[in-house]
Structure 1
Amino acid sequence: MNGFTISDWDDAYENGRNIPNGSDWPGVWVSPAQKFRDQGRNRLDIPYGTSERAKYDLFLPEGTPKGLFVFVHGGYWVALDKSYWSHLAKGAVDSGWAVAIPSYDLCPTVSIAQITTMIGAAIDHAAGAVAGPIVLSGHSAGGHLVTAMMCEDTPLSKPTQKRLRHVVSISGLHDLRPLLKTNRNETLQMDMHSATAASPALQRPLPGVRMTAWVGGGERQEFLRQTQLLANVWYGLGCDTRAVTEPDRHHFNVIDGLADRGSPLTRAALNDPDEE
C-alpha cells in the first residue's frame, strides 16, 4: 500500500462495473430467493416498525431453533430489500437456526443513523420471537449495519445485547469517511461528523462478542482494506476478531456460502472457533 493514492473514489467503491457480467446482479438472486420462500417454513412480512419497509421475514428450521441468525442486506443504504436474499437463509436453517432477514428505509428518505436504529429494532423484535444465542451477518452496507450493533452505542436492547455471540461482516464498510469523496454521498447526505459517528472502526466494540470480517479475494482494494481495518482496530481494543479473505470470490458471490450449511462461511458464522 505504500505510495498508493486513490484518484477516483467512485471507482474505488464501484463493484458492478468491475466484475465480469456484473450487471447480472442483483437479478440472479431473484429466482433462488423466491424458490426458497415458496418451499421453506417461513413467516413473511412481520412488522417491526411503522414504515412500509419496516418488516422482516423469519425462516424456521424443523424443531426448536438453536438460536437466531440475522442477515442484513446491502445496496449502499439506498437500494434493494429483503426479498432478494431469502435463499441465503438456507445454510443456517439447515443447521437448525431461525433466520431473520429485514428490510429497512433507505437514504435519502432517512439517514444512515436512522437505518441503524431500524436494524436494532428489527433484531430486538426477532429476538422476542426466537430464544437462544444471536449471530448477526450483513453484506456490504449490511456489514456496516451489523457491526454497528456491537458498538458501545448500539441501538440493541440490553437483553438482546446479552444474547449476542458473533457478528460477521461480509465485504463490510466500516469507515464511512472515504464515501464523502464519492458521488454516492449526494444521496447518503453525510458530513464529516455524521460519517465519523456512523463508522464502527472509529467506535469501541461491546465486550464479549466475537467479530469476523469476511471478504472475497477478488474484491476492490477498498473493500479488502476496510475488512482488515476493522479487524485490526478492534483487536487492539480487546475484541476477539478474525479477518478472512476467501479466494476466487468477488463482491457479489462472496455471500453464496450462506446458502450452504457446509460452507466455510456458514460454519465460521455459526460454530465456536474450536468447532470449526
Structure 2
Amino acid sequence: MLYRGFTQEELEQEYSPSSMIGGDLTPYLASYSALSAQARSEIRMQENRSYGDSPTQVLDFFPAPGANAPLHVFIHGGYWQALSQRESAPMAPVLHENGQAFATLNYTLAPDARLGQMVDECRTALLWLASQAETLGFDPSNITLSGHSAGAHLVAMVMATSSKAFAQAGLRVRNVILISGIYDLVPICLTSVNDPLQLTKVEIHDFSPCLNLPAPGPRYRVTVAERDTPEFIRQSRDYAELLRKAGHSVSFDLQKGKHHFDIIMPSGTFLSSRTD
C-alpha cells in the first residue's frame, strides 16, 4: 500500500484524469487549440510578449474593451510537462465580453525546469504585467488569478510566496480561482507523473500548497469537476478546508456533469468571482 491504502495501479489511475474519459485526450486538446486560435483571430491581442530572457518566458495578452479594466490571468495545466499559452485561451472571449483584460502565461516545462523555477517564472510574469499595466490598459490593483490542474498548483504556490513582491509592485490579487488542482505532491512522487519531475523530499515539502498556505486577503474559489477522479476531488475539498481554517474567504464547489478536461471550456468557471 503506497498512499492512503492505494495499490500502485490504483494510485496511477487516481492521478490520471484521462482515466475518467476513456483515456483519449485528443478531442479536448484539439478544442483548446481551436478555441484559442479563434480567440486570437477575433480579439486584437499581443502574442508572445516576453516577460523574461528565455524563449519559454512569454505570455499572450488580450486587452479589455475599455481602459483601466480588471485583469484575469490564467496559468495552464498539463502536469507541469505539457501544453503552453497557445492552447490556453478558450476563455478569452467570455472575459473580454465581461469587460476584463486577459493574459495567459507560458512557463518552462519539466524536465527542463524544476517546480521552483516554474513558480518563479509565473511570479515574474505577474510582476512584469504589473510594470506594464498603464501601457496595457488594466488596473494592477484588480487582478483575478486562475489556474487549471498543474496550473492551479502553480497559482496556489505563487500566492503562498509572493505577497511582499506583489505589494511592492502595486499588484493586488483580489480573486483566486483554483480549478481541478493538485495541492499535495506526496502522491505525485509515487506515480509515473514524477518521471520528468524527479521531485526531491525538499521540493515535495516546499511546493505542496497544503503545507504552504498563503496569507489571507483574496477571495478563493476552489472548484473541481464532478467527473474528476476521487483523489482530485478530495485534494480540492481538503485544500479549501485548509484555507477556511486559516481565515481565508473561500468557497468550494463541484461542477456537475463536468470532467477534468471540459471544466475549462467557456463557462461560468471564470466569471464566478467579483471584479470590482
What is the TM-score with the length of structure 2 in the denominator?
0.90
Render the CA deviation track for 1:49-79: whole Å, top value 9, x for unaligned.
Answer: 1111100000012121421110000000011
Residue 139 of structure 1 aligns with which residue? 148
RMSD across aligned C-alpha pairs, in angstroms? Answer: 1.8
CA separation of 1:270/1:209 partners in 2, compared to 1, >3 Å: closer, same or farther? same
Tell me what 1:266 maps to: 270
Aligned to 2:47, the other structure's residue is in SS state: strand
Partner of 2:158: 149
Separation (CA, whole Å) in 1 of partners of 2:67 and 2:118? 31
Q: Does 1:182 align with 2:199?
A: no
1:85 and 2:88 correspond: yes
- 1:3-42 alignment runs, 5 A limit: 5-7=5-7, 8-20=10-22, 21-42=24-45
Q: Secondary structure at the match of 2:124?
A: helix
8 Å Cα contact 2:143/2:171 also seen in 1 = no
1:141: Cα distance to partner?
A: 0.3
Identify the range of structure 1 (17-26 vs 88-97) with the bigger mean alpha-carbon deviation.
Answer: 17-26
Paired residue type of 1:99? F
Distance, in Å, in 2 between the alignment partners of 1:152 and 1:191 is 19
3-state secondary structure, aligned to 1:144: helix
Equivalent residues of 1:43, 1:57 under 8 A apart? yes
Distance (whole Å) between structure 1 residues aligned to residue 93 and residue 274 of structure 2: 13
Instruction: Note the C-alpha offset of 1:198.
Output: 0.2
Q: Secondary structure at the match of 1:228?
A: helix
Alignment CA distance shift 1:225-1:161 (3 Å): farther
2:136 corresponds in structure 1 to: none
The code of the aligned residue for 1:212 comes to: R
**Residue in 1 aligned with 2:225?**
216
The one-letter code matched in structure 2 to 1:254 is I
Contact 1:231 1:241 in 2 (8 A): yes
CA contact (8 A) 1:152 1:206 kept: no
Partner secondary structure for residue 211 of structure 1: strand
Which consecutive residues of structure 2, in runs of 5 or more, have no partner in the other structure? Answer: 134-138
Does the CA-based 8 Å contact 1:61-1:98 persist in structure 2? yes
Counterparts of 1:28 and 1:267, CA distance in 2: 20
Q: Percent identity?
A: 28
Q: 1:158 to 1:54 in 2, by over 3 A?
A: same
Distance 1:70 1:162 in 2: 12
SS at structure 2 position matched to 1:53: coil
- Runs ≥4 residues deviating over 3 A: 20-23, 152-157, 159-162
Asked if the contact 1:68–1:127 (Cα under 8 Å) also holds between the matched residues in 2, the reply is no
Q: Give 1:156 deviation, angstroms.
A: 4.3
Written as runs of structure 1 = structure 2, the 5 A alignment for 1:1-276 is: 5-7=5-7, 8-20=10-22, 21-130=24-133, 131=139, 132-152=141-161, 156-160=165-169, 163-256=172-265, 259-260=266-267, 263=268, 265-271=269-275
Separation (CA, whole Å) in 1 of partners of 2:150 and 2:199: 14
Q: Mind listing any 5+ residue stretches in structure 1 that lack a counterpart?
A: none
Q: 1:97 to 1:184 in 2, by over 3 A?
A: same
Q: Distance in 2 between matches of 1:152 and 1:129?
A: 22
Number of aligned residues: 264
